[in-house]
Structure 1
């Protein structure tokens, strides 16, 4: 099982990355430093996460220590929904670069296909009044400018459905290299993965382990498969953890995964999945867990014309 995936522009992306969403100040810096020390090179960030400065501090610390070289890192950031107008795209990437203390990122993504007005809240609650109808094709022109100006090596999308991917591919000059979407056993996205693969686009799966805390405290939440008794039993058989079994399963679908953690033992555990293979019956069981339930549906915006689900 490869520790890298080849992108359609010739670059490579590490199969496992560290997610940084909701990683708190004071925690994310230490998490990134530790991850670099144990071998992580792929870091998934976003302007919306409001912690890029700390991630940047950690990256700089390890670069200065000589633990890692810049060209060995694969740093990702994303354009938030309020800035979909073409004129905003390059300036927003520059803002993220300043926080990350980098001259370029390796991958810049459109975070969601739907936009909000620039003056709206980041997650507006006043309904359609905050919606922007900027077409993501216009946004993509700004993304292409980011490549041309050397601010990013690659560009991609996040949370796009098949129709949106196809429309973009048919109307772009620079093809997206990835589509980052929620992938876990509850929503294994096999159809979308195949669709993207046919177009030479790598799928990166976020929330690969679901959200176990919420799934035990909120009754409407999809139950995380790391809590599934059968998965726990399977993990014992391989002398692995449920999380390792699930990540191994997802990586076998041909995707990258970006599990988020600030706990050292879990950061290490999530990275240690390349030394075993799942038997076919265990893969079949994990396949059977698919219910197409999302932990990140963004359903508050389902009446937006570019809402993807």
Structure 2
């Protein structure tokens, strides 16, 4: 069983020549290589396989290496990076290194020592992308909320220039919404599983509507062996539709799968045409909640619009239309958005 995975950015635009760009512009201005060499695997394989695999990957042209404190392989990856740099194969500034917060870090204050420990193992002064590994932390007694405090620590890492970009992994739309409402930084990336057998198009569309780049892990799904996971499907690279497309374009079936991932954005519209001719944004910010918390609706709606939402949903029965109206008035007056760019839904 192999211990190495490929990761691919979902939703790269394609230039007119039909040649794929090598990098993707993130919402913070940094550019990330679209194909990553993922290193998740069995711990028993680390000593023998990870360092030579990463060295070979970089020699072969990979410029994005993905790891995590949880994988227990940062030290081996650090040795591989140090080797290729010392041999003049690549410069540090030409590599993009992604790692993820150790689950031991459950508070804002614990993020800095967690990243410092990763940097020591990686033999680096900074990482290019630092992710919250999961919204669910088995070591935290406050699952569902602890990541809000950890995210503040992530913002600290960016300010300290220990991480060029920050993001999340395995987050759904509700969990990302909580970050948007409670912080000043939109995640640059959400790393989730996306592949032809698990498309998760609703979450992909949600992230893209907010200019959050989706980084797909397990892009081949269960068409390849996966450590710790039993194969629940019979999917293979010999699927008739893949074979047909491969023959049509003169490619291999695995190339077809990768192309599908990097061009998914072109098939996901930001709006949907209604039967009356109007176009409605496909992702809405819902404001239903407890009436005794109505005071949070104005700042939450403002944050949502600033983050990229263009559809706000309310209702008379929610008893928050006044707060929603104040939020809309605020962002229009500040020039963040024009009224005609907003879609407001309410109910009788």
> Which TM-score band applies after superposition, normalised by the shorter structure?
0.7 to 0.9
Q: Tell me, which stretches of 5 or more residues in structure 1 are unaligned? A: 119-129, 256-309
| Inter-CA distance 80–249: structure 2 relative to 1 (3 Å threshold) | same
Shift of the alpha carbon at 1:132? 5.0
Instruction: State which of 168, 184, 200 in structure 1 corresponds to 2:195.
Output: 184
Preserved contact between residue 198 and residue 221 of structure 2 (Cα < 8 Å): no
Query: Residue 221 of structure 2 aligns to a residue in which SS?
Result: coil
Structure 2 partner of 1:148: 159
Q: Tell me, which stretches of 5 or more residues in structure 2 are unaligned? A: 1-19, 267-348
Preserved contact between residue 75 and residue 106 of structure 1 (Cα < 8 Å): yes
Instruction: State which of 1, 6, 14 in structure 1 corresponds to 2:33.
Output: 14
Matched, 1:44 2:66: yes
| Segment drifting more, 168-177 vs 234-243 | 234-243
Runs of 4+ in 1 over 6 A off after TM superposition: none
Preserved contact between residue 134 and residue 170 of structure 2 (Cα < 8 Å): yes
Structure 1 partner of 2:122: 100
Matched, 1:201 2:223: no
| Inter-CA distance 28–232: structure 2 relative to 1 (3 Å threshold) | farther
Shift of the alpha carbon at 1:232? 3.3
TM-score, L = length of structure 2: 0.65
Preserved contact between residue 4 and residue 15 of structure 1 (Cα < 8 Å): yes
Shift of the alpha carbon at 1:142? 1.0
Query: Residue 83 of structure 1 aligns to a residue in which SS?
Result: coil
- Deviations 1:140-180, CA, capped at 9 Å, x for gaps: 01111111222111100001101111221222122210000
Greater relative CO, 1 or 2 (CA 8 Å, sep 6+): 1
Shift of the alpha carbon at 1:2? 1.6
Root-mean-square deviation over aligned CA pairs = 2.3
Give the Cα separation in 2 of the matches to 1:234 and 1:77: 35
Preserved contact between residue 37 and residue 65 of structure 2 (Cα < 8 Å): yes
| Inter-CA distance 239–115: structure 2 relative to 1 (3 Å threshold) | same
Shift of the alpha carbon at 1:236? 3.9
Shift of the alpha carbon at 1:213? 4.9
TM-score, L = length of structure 1: 0.73
* Count of matched residue pairs: 243
Give the Cα separation in 1 of the matches to 2:41 and 2:162: 25
1:44-193 aligned within 5 A: 44-117=66-139, 132=143, 134-193=145-204
Query: Residue 28 of structure 2 aligns to a residue in which SS?
Result: coil
| Inter-CA distance 173–31: structure 2 relative to 1 (3 Å threshold) | same
